[in-house]
Amino acid sequence: MKILVFGKTGQVAKELQALASADLQIEALSRAEADLLDSAACAALIAQTDADAVINAAAYTAVDQAETEADAAQTINADAPGAMAKAAAERGLPFLHISTDYVFDGAGQGARAPDDPTAPINIYGRTKLAGEDNVRAADGPHVILRTSWVFSAHGANFVKTMLRLSETRDALTIVADQHGGPTSAADIAATLVAMARGLMDGKTGGTYHYSGAPSTTWADFAREIFHIANRPVTVTDIPSTDFPTPAERPLNSRLDCATLLSDFGITPADWKAGLTRVIAQLEQGTS
């Protein structure tokens, strides 16, 4: 199987490339090769590919910056995926698109199911939801995989930020009223490949959730990072109101992944196991 991947240096894209093997070819496209600001050019690449499936692992993910760059976020997160999905549908190619818990409003305490009402509270979430709608409208074989709190040994993420801060700080205040599932980019990549194979075998696809288990808070996530990395850092809980950001964050990012298990046989991974692997990678300098 050959998969065309939009994105090359992002967290999930890097992990997808690491899965390449004798029976799995990954063609990952850099921004220079496929700029999502040019939707037509991205669609043209799909029209001429010899790949068996397409994964969109590229996105505008600067949540706060999106508040002042709404047009760019809309083009990258909504317009380009729509054009790409349409091009894939015209050729009958499975199209897999990564989305986010930010399509929900973050209210309540329960885990959100894929068919629960959406109501994003910031521009990033609204553009990602628009991208979902455009992918569905293309009406081809597709998967929209919503995930949350992605971490890896690559790029910028919460784990790497905490480890960097621990080099000069022995105490940190971390938000403790936002709940979600930290998710290893390597686990997301493996899930996407398994779902691509499923679509090629005739599975219907649709919208699914995948996040690490069990749910936690950013503060407790930080504590586990320091515990596994053996860093003596004291974490003090604070509310979100003590750490204001340009874009509002959802307080409840819990995702119900039951349909992913029932339809594809995929169970959410233990995020602590993924975290242990990532910290080992970083300590060994193998990222």
Q: How many domains does the chain have?
A: 1
pLDDT of 270 > 90? The answer is yes
In a domain, 275, yes or no: no
Per-residue pLDDT, averaged over 68-81, amounts to 97
In a domain, 165, yes or no: no
pLDDT of 59 > 90? The answer is yes
In a domain, 125, yes or no: yes
Contact partners, residue 250, CB within 8 Å, separation at least 6: 101, 102, 104, 105, 106, 121, 125, 178
Retrieve residue 273's tokens: 């196991």
In a domain, 226, yes or no: no
In a domain, 114, yes or no: yes
Predicted local confidence at residue 89, as pLDDT = 97
Per-residue pLDDT, averaged over 159-165, amounts to 97
Q: CA-CA distance, 204 to 81, in Å (whole number)?
A: 19
Give the pLDDT confidence of 169-218 residue by residue, as tens digits: 999 999 999 999 999 999 999 999 999 999 999 999 999 999 999 999 99
Q: CA-CA distance, 192 to 195, in Å (whole number)?
A: 5
Average confidence score pLDDT of the chain: 96
pLDDT of 31 > 60? The answer is yes
Per-residue pLDDT, averaged over 9-38, amounts to 96
pLDDT of 286 > 70? The answer is no
- Identify the domain containing residue 125 by its residue range: 2-156+181-213+254-270
Match 């080992």 to its residue by tokens. Answer: 280
pLDDT of 125 > 60? The answer is yes
Q: Are residues 74 and 130 in contact, defined by beta-carbon separation less than 8 angstroms?
A: yes
pLDDT of 285 > 90? The answer is no
In a domain, 70, yes or no: yes
Catalytic residues: 124
Predicted local confidence at residue 197, as pLDDT = 96
Pairing mode of beta strands 183-184, 150-151: parallel
pLDDT of 69 > 80? The answer is yes
In a domain, 28, yes or no: yes
Share of the chain above pLDDT 90, in %: 98
Per-residue pLDDT, averaged over 110-131, amounts to 97
pLDDT category at 39 given cuts 50, 70, 90 is very high
pLDDT of 287 > 60? The answer is no
pLDDT of 42 > 90? The answer is yes
Give the pLDDT confidence of 213-262 residue by residue, as tens digits: 999 999 999 999 999 999 999 999 999 999 999 999 999 999 999 999 99
Q: CA-CA distance, 1 to 87, in Å (whole number)?
A: 19
In a domain, 194, yes or no: yes
CATH of the domain at 25: 3.40.50.720
Contact partners, residue 178, CB within 8 Å, separation at least 6: 106, 217, 218, 240, 249, 250, 251, 252, 253
How many Cα atoms are found within 13 Å in the side-chain-facing hemisphere of 150? Answer: 25
